[in-house]
Structure 1
C-alpha cells in the first residue's frame, strides 16, 4: 500500500461519528428536549405532516410506541412543512391534531425543516455520512424513518412508505 493510500485509510479510520445524544431541541410545548435522556434506548425519528396521504401512519407509530416504550424504545416526531405544504399548522394546531386524531403520546418536537437551505442541524446529522458515519441520504417525503441505536448512532433509514410496524423494524427493535 502506498503512502497516499495509508494516509486516506488512516483519515477514514479517524472519522468521529456524531451522536443523537448531542442535540437539544424545543418540543411542541416549548420545553427543552435533551436527546441525551434517550441514552440506552433505540430511537425512531420520523418527520411528520398532518395533511399527507401517509398521515394515518401516526396510528401505527403510536401502536408501536405503546408496544415497546417499556422495552427501551422511543419514537420522536418532527413536524415539517417541506413537502407540498402538508404541515401548515402552528405548533398548537399540530399538538391538538396529533392528540385528538391519533392519541399521540410519543415526544413531538417543534416544527422544523428537514431539507433545503434551512435544514435543521439534527437532520444534517441524519443525512450526511460525514457526520453520522453510516450513510448519505435525502429525506424523500413525510414519514421517513431514521433508526438510532442505544448509543445514539445512526443505524439506517426507512422509506416513508415503509410502515412503522414493518417486520424489519420490529426485528431491529426486538434484537
Structure 2
C-alpha cells in the first residue's frame, strides 16, 4: 500500500519535491490561500512548526486557487506574502488543485485515506489539514475551522515521547 512518501508534488520552483525526504517525520499537510478568511491560520501553522520541528514535525503548505480564487498569485508572490505577512518559514510548495479531474495525486491520496464530514471525500475549502504519522500513514483530517493550536495534542501524540 502506498504512503505519502511515494509522492513528489511540485515545489514552489516547479521541480519535484519528493516527500520521501520526510520519512520518519510527522507531517501536517495544508491547502492554503493568501486571500481567505482563514489566512491568519498561517500564524498558527508557523507556531506549530516552530514548537515541534525539533521533535520531527514538518508543516507543508500547498497554495490552492480553487476556492473563490483566493490564491491568484504566482509562487514568488505567494512566498513573499507568506514571509512578509506571517513570517512563514515552513515549506510552501507549488500551487495545486485539491479537487476535480486536475487534483494533485497527493491530495487524491490524502482524501482517499481520510474522508471529511459525513464521509465526504472532497475538500470543502482552504486550510483543510491532514496529519500524517512518521510511517507515512494518514492519522487525521481537520476542517478549515480547526485552528492550528487545536491540533497540538494530536501532533504531540504523533511525535511520541
TM-score, normalised relative to structure 1: 0.83
Show the counterpart of 1:32.
16
Rounded to whole Å, the distance in 2 between the matches of 1:126 and 1:174 is: 21
1:160 to 144, 147, 154: 144
Counterpart mapping for 1:143-158 below 5 A: 143-158=127-142
- Displacement of 1:31 in angstroms is 4.2
Rounded to whole Å, the distance in 1 between the matches of 2:89 and 2:9 is: 18
Rounded to whole Å, the distance in 2 between the matches of 1:93 and 1:85 is: 15
Rounded to whole Å, the distance in 2 between the matches of 1:32 and 1:118 is: 17
- Displacement of 1:117 in angstroms is 1.7
Rounded to whole Å, the distance in 2 between the matches of 1:174 and 1:60 is: 15
Rounded to whole Å, the distance in 2 between the matches of 1:43 and 1:59 is: 17
Show the counterpart of 2:49.
65
Highest CA radius of gyration, 1 or 2? 1
TM-score, normalised relative to structure 2: 0.90
- 3-state secondary structure, aligned to 1:70: helix
Deviations 1:129-174 (CA, angstroms, capped at 9, x unpaired): xxx3x546321100000110101111120010100110xx211221
Rounded to whole Å, the distance in 2 between the matches of 1:152 and 1:108 is: 19
- 3-state secondary structure, aligned to 1:63: helix
- 3-state secondary structure, aligned to 1:46: strand
Deviations 1:57-82 (CA, angstroms, capped at 9, x unpaired): 00110011000010111100000001
Root-mean-square deviation (CA), in Å? 1.3
Counterpart mapping for 1:69-80 below 5 A: 69-80=53-64
Counterpart mapping for 1:113-132 below 5 A: 113-128=97-112, 132=113
Show the counterpart of 1:54.
38
- Displacement of 1:27 in angstroms is 1.4
Rounded to whole Å, the distance in 1 between the matches of 2:13 and 2:45 is: 20
Rounded to whole Å, the distance in 1 between the matches of 2:32 and 2:111 is: 16
- Displacement of 1:32 in angstroms is 3.2
Structure 1 gaps of 5+ residues are 1-15
Report if aligned partners of 2:60, 2:93 keep a CA contact under 8 Å in 1: yes
Show the counterpart of 1:173.
155
